[in-house]
Amino acid sequence: MFNKIETAASFIKSKIEGSPEIGLILGSGLGVLADEIENPITIPYHEIPEFPVSTVEGHAGQLVIGQLSGKKVVAMQGRFHFYEGYSMEKVTFPVRVMKLLGVEQLIVTNAAGSVNESYQPGDLMLITDHINLMGANPLIGPNEERFGPRFPDMSEAYNKDLRTQAKKIAASLGLDIKEGVYIGNTGPTYETPAEVKMARILGGDAVGMSTVPEVIVARHSGMKVLGISCLTNMAAGILDQPLSHEEVIETTEKVKSSFLEFVKQIVKDI
Ligand code: HPA
């Protein structure tokens, strides 16, 4: 596995100058942030040796490497989801490639449903912690010591200093940022109302279908992580209406400009 990650990383290194210090994983509808990267080098995933290949037509993602707010960054425009049928190893492969490229800070974003009834669609939420309900862990299997220990500490999965900085930035931008616990489910079904009630009882504020595997792998290798959820809808059963992917995309469209401004300022200051 390590060799495959090295092969992918060397290929990318041969295309770029210097090393990116910040990694960005852009969630559903939030990929536009990568369009703001200056002097971009874009590498479609399918061109990178050993990289997972997208099975869905027209759903191909790419890495965008360049400058954002004066910092060298590498962004994933499109991620791999467990529900698409990728193994946990494949879902998290790009995070390890980022590590070998030199990334020490990872900003992970996603679209999520709000379990917390006092939050609203369109709110941005700093992830304070997560609960893994995916029934899998990407680190199961032989441990790769070159990345990290067998039993990684997860007591500060989402870096406290980065969260403090992000809150200050939000205040300076007049953004009413929320905070809370993200529960990772596999999807692809949205939750049932009973599952949402369970999520609330368990201490969750948001539910989604990503992020948890990537963050586990990032923490294993010692990266500092900042997680931001765009709450695109109230989770199932809170409102008397069905959920749809259209609603999720519509909400990300609405918050796009404040999301962009927020993340750009974070990249500048951290
Ligand atoms: N549940 C799970 N994932 C999601 C949701 C949701 O309500 N909204 C956006 N992604």
Please give the annotated binding residues for phosphate, written as ranges.
28, 59, 79-81, 111, 210
pLDDT at res. 55: 62
Which atom of ligand 1 is the closest one to the Cα of 113?
Answer: 7
> CA 127, CA 22: separation in Å to the nearest integer?
18
SS3 category, 204: coil
Tokens of 131: 């609960």
Supply the residues annotated as catalytic.
28, 59, 81, 83-84, 111, 209-210, 233, 245
Using a 6 Å CB cutoff, which residues line ligand 1? Answer: 111-113, 190-191, 207-209, 232-233, 235, 243, 248
Greatest alpha-carbon pair distance for the chain in Å reads 53
What is the rounded distance in angstroms from the CA atom of residue 120 to the CA atom of residue 111? 13
The single-letter code of the amino acid at 249 is I
Residue 27's pLDDT is 87
Closest ligand 1 atom to 234 CA:
7
Q: Give the containing element (helix H, strand E) for 213.
A: helix 212-220
Tens of each residue's pLDDT in the chain, 270 residues = 899 999 999 999 999 999 999 999 998 888 899 999 999 999 999 999 999 986 655 456 999 999 999 999 999 999 999 999 999 999 999 999 999 999 999 999 999 999 999 999 999 999 999 999 999 999 999 999 999 999 999 999 999 999 999 999 999 999 999 999 999 999 999 999 999 999 999 999 999 999 999 999 999 999 999 999 999 999 999 999 999 889 889 899 899 999 999 999 999 999
Residue that the structure tokens 């609405």 belong to:
254
Atom 2 (ligand 1) nearest CA: 208
Residue 19 CA to ligand 1 centre (angstroms): 34
Distance CA 214, CA 195 (A): 23
Please report the pLDDT score of residue 132 as a whole number.
98
CA quadruple 34, 170, 99, 151: dihedral sign: negative
Q: Residue 56 has what pLDDT?
A: 57
Predicted local distance difference test score (pLDDT) of residue 60: 61
Integer Cα distance of 190 and 196 in angstroms? 10
Annotated binding-site residues read: 28, 59, 79-81, 111, 191, 210, 233
CA of 152 to the centre of ligand 1 (A): 28
Q: Where are the beta strands (DSSP E) in 56-123?
A: 62-68, 71-77, 105-114
Between the CA of residue 243 and those of 25, 51, 96, 191, what are the distances in Å? Answer: 24, 32, 34, 10
Q: Which of 124, 207, 239 for a ligand 1 pocket mutation test, highest count of atoms within 8 Å of Cβ?
A: 207
So what's the pLDDT on residue 106? 98
The H helix count followed by the E strand count for the chain is 6, 9
